[in-house]
Structure 1
Amino acid sequence: MTYSASEMRSKLPSPHTLNAFEAAARLGSFSKAAAELGVTQPAVSRAIAALEAEVGEQLFQRSGPNVQLTPKGAELSTLLSDAFNSLETLFARWRANRDRGSVLLSISSSMATHWLIPRLFDFRQIFPNVDLRFELIAGAIGSAPITADLGLRRVEPGQSAEPDSLYVPEIIQPIASPEYLRRVGTLGRKGARRPHTLITLSNHWCDWQKFAAESGLALPTEFNEMQFSDYSVALESAINGQGVVLGWLSVTSRLIRMRKLVGAADAAYSTGATYNLVTNSAFPPSDLVRKVRAWMQKEVRAELEAIGKSERLFAAACNIALGTT
């Protein structure tokens, strides 16, 4: 006599009796099996008794609180253990594949150099199977990424941005190395030891005159100037004690947290614009892209909270950025 697949399945014991048996056999105790399954010990006993009645074999030798597998029970336990282990391996592979893949991130070279690359070890701990790739751009631009999965973009005041994309509001504040400030002093301080050197970006919308007008900072009447076309190079110059640079909090938070750069004046300029991690408009973001974005947002928020508590000159700026003012 032959049986169809559905008839064969109908002749198998019920899943809950097999689950109870597998747990009791693996743990050697009905009580421990009950605790693992979240049921009572009598419920496990009844399930195993029902299984024994259904298969027509005694599966356990019972002696007080202790139980021991019979030869038939050991045979069934081995088969079920292999099946359960295979299922666990399969589901683990599915979970790993769900978080496996690549994310192409479109950011400025300064953001990559000074914010993200120093965190790659931490990123690998959380996303061990993710290939993070970079599309470096000269500066943060307004349009959504065309080829990348995720891009850091500047959103003008009044412009709309996709929900959950906020990275940090645009806040600018003068920064310099601790060694430079010990040598020259802070900006706006009367009787500077020597002329300040102001590091500027060529052809940038926010130069020192614009910053001074918006923030109320009084620039020194005499100063030297260093000009760069790349913000990453400008920051490196400041780190090396060569002058004061305008610091965009979206890029410099880690440098400030590590005290490679510190506040060079009490003045700050909150432009009303924001930096947002926007996704590719051509297709909806994957779960992995959303997770990477959430990780970046969490990282910068934790950093700003720490800076606001430890760096007096940045307290107001961090409160604005965190929305706690």
Structure 2
Amino acid sequence: MRRLPSLDTLRAFESAARHLNFTKAANELHVTQSALSQRIGALEDELGFPLFVRRGRQIELTQRGGVIAAAMGRAMAEITRAFSGLEEIEAARTLVISVLPSFAARWLMPRMTRFHAQHPDIEVQVNAEGRLVDLTTSEADLALRFGTGRYPGHQVDFIMDDYVLPVAEPALLASLKAEPGKLDAQRIAQLPLIYDSTVNRDASGTDWRSWFEHAGVANPPPSTGLRFSQADLMLQAAAQGQGVALARYSLVHDDLVTSRLVPLTREPMLRARYDYYVVCLPEKAQRPAAVAFREWLIAEARAFMVTRDKTVPPVRGPAA
């Protein structure tokens, strides 16, 4: 059985046969034209017959050269398909998710170990983004959004609803001689309030003014307290005793469980006008990784809502 020639000489021949031009082949392989000619000459010497016919500045394949070139073309096409298949397999097991930073840090991340336990073959990249990404141009496959659910041209699945309640660090209440869960809205209005500035620019109904209206306070205090551009920062400030935060329950649940933060009132919570949704383009919706994550996320959210609704005060509807 004839021994296969070296890969260097075969690569030189394949490129030259495809271009029928030594200069172009040399440039493609990043070698000099002289080096390319030497490799093809070495291959011809090893085979014992010419592969090209030189006609002035042009070259043509000999009959035997044409047979080898056709076989190599088929082989290279098969190798290319194999590598493309590997890339598709890799892409199928990778999922990029765009999530609001505070929701990512306080609700999604503590649960991700359960997703990895169920789907160890899926690699998830979480992009924490405060802006609303355009999925037609973004690298994200899915987006978790807090909004109305109206996203034309996308597949939209409801995740869960949410509510807001005032919370504070226990020591702050102790310094004010106030007991957790026993303050009315008028008393809360007199405390140092801190703000998530983003909710004042949307229609989610999760701002202090909406809550005071919901609680029946006719003249809510002016918005003069500390302001933060992310809910997570606002809740960290509250946990450090800097004031009272109006928190979405989904973001503050773990702090309530550990008593890092405590509710100020037993009044019914205010339902947000926005809900959480998972959004994706229709052409990506049926990717196995996307389906697996979406189904897992919806199941996690349902379990969370069941637990929440058993442990929190009765709920009023959203503010008008």
TM bucket (normalised to shorter chain) is: 0.5 to 0.7
- 1:277 equivalent in structure 2: 278
Spell out, residue by residue over 1:246-269, the C-alpha distance to the aligned partner (whole angstroms, 9 max, x if none).
212343344444443332232433
Give the CA deviation at 1:234.
0.8
For 1:241, the equivalent position in structure 2 comes to: 241
> Residue by residue, what CA displacement relative to the aligned partner does 1:142-162 show, whole Å, maximum 9, x if unpaired?
965743111111332777796
Contact 2:196 2:231 in 1 (8 A): yes
1:104/1:215 CA distance change after superposition, 3 Å: farther
The two structures, once aligned, show a CA RMSD in angstroms of 3.7
Alignment of 1:45-60 (within 5 A): none
Shift of 1:101: 1.3
Partner of 2:39: none
Instruction: Give the aligned length.
Output: 219
Alpha-carbon distance in 2 for matches of 1:99, 1:262: 44
TM-score normalised by length of structure 1: 0.55
User: Is the 1:172–1:247 contact (alpha carbons within 8 Å) kept by the matching residues of 2?
Assistant: yes
Q: State which of 154, 158, 164 in structure 1 corresponds to 2:146.
A: 154
Aligned residue for 2:59? Answer: none
The 3 A distance-change label for structure 1 pair 221 and 215 is closer
- Aligned match of 2:260: 260
The corresponding residue for 1:197 is 192
Name the structure 1 match of 2:184: 188
Higher mean C-alpha deviation, range 172-181 or range 217-226: 217-226
1:175·1:247 contact (CA, 8 Å) conserved in 2?
yes
Aligned-partner Cα distance in 1 for 2:134–2:156: 17
Q: Distance in 2 between matches of 1:273 and 1:223?
A: 22
| Distance change (3 Å), C-alpha of 1:276 and 1:190 | closer
1:116 is displaced (CA, Å) by 2.0
**Distance in 1, Cα, partners of 2:272 & 2:94:** 34
Q: For residue 310 of structure 2, what is the aligned residue in structure 1? A: 309
Cα gap change, 1:135/1:251 in structure 2, threshold over 3 Å: closer, same or farther?
same
Name 1:212's counterpart in structure 2.
212
The alignment-based identity, stated in percent, is: 21
Residue pairs, 1:1-325, within 5 angstroms: 101-138=93-130, 141=132, 146-156=138-148, 165-184=157-176, 185=178, 187-188=183-184, 196-202=191-197, 204-205=200-201, 206-217=206-217, 225-265=225-265, 266-281=267-282, 283-311=284-312, 313=313, 315-316=314-315
Structure having greater relative contact order (Cα 8 Å, sep ≥ 6): 2
CA contact (8 A) 1:217 1:267 kept: no
Contact 1:174 1:245 in 2 (8 A): yes
Q: Structure 2: how far apart are the matches of 1:157 and 1:272?
A: 11
Structure 1 residue 223, shift from structure 2 partner: 9.5
Deviations 1:35-66 (A, max 9, x none): xxxxxxxxxxxxxxxxxxxxxxxxxxxxxxxx
Contact 1:250 1:275 survives alignment (8 Å): no
TM-superposed deviation, 1:99: 11
Name the SS for the 2:139 alignment partner: coil
- The alpha carbon displacement at 1:219 in A equals 7.4
**Structure-2 separation of matches of 1:160 and 1:243:** 40
TM-score for the superposition, normalised by structure 2: 0.56
**Conservation of the 8 A alpha-carbon contact between 2:96 and 2:142:** yes
- Match of 1:278, SS state, is strand
